[in-house]
């Protein structure tokens, strides 16, 4: 079961790489905007939530890419 799951996941490897790159770009833009935004503004709280959602997504994508490249599943 586990091997079948990773075979399916690794079949989409180019997509995971593109998503990882885009997520890093979005994270950089969000952090820059977070630095420039006023803490009193409503958008500041949305940016904090955005960063809190992007970081775990990057972690999961990084783990998936590493697991597929190593081939030990």
Instruction: State the pTM of this model.
Output: 0.83
Rounded CA Rg of the chain: 16
Residue 61's Cβ-count burial label (10 Å; 0-12, 13-18, 19+) is: buried
User: Is the pLDDT assigned to residue 73 strictly greater than 80?
Assistant: no
Provide the phi-psi class of 38: left if phi over 0, else alpha when psi is between -120 and 50, else beta: beta
Per residue in 6-51, pLDDT (tens digit) is 999 999 999 999 999 999 999 999 999 988 988 898 889 999 999 9
Q: Check residue 65 and give its pLDDT.
A: 95
Helix (H) or strand (E) holding 32: helix 13-36
Q: Check residue 59 and give its pLDDT.
A: 97
Give the pLDDT mean for 50-68: 96
């Amino acid at each position: 079961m586990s091997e079948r799951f990773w075979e399916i996941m690794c079949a989409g490897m180019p997509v995971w790489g593109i998503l990882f790159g885009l997520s890093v770009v979005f994270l950089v833009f969000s952090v820059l905007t977070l630095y420039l935004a006023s803490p009193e503004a409503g958008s500041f709280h949305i940016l904090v939530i955005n960063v809190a959602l992007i970081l775990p997504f990057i972690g999961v994508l990084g783990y998936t890419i590493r697991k597929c490249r190593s081939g030990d599943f």
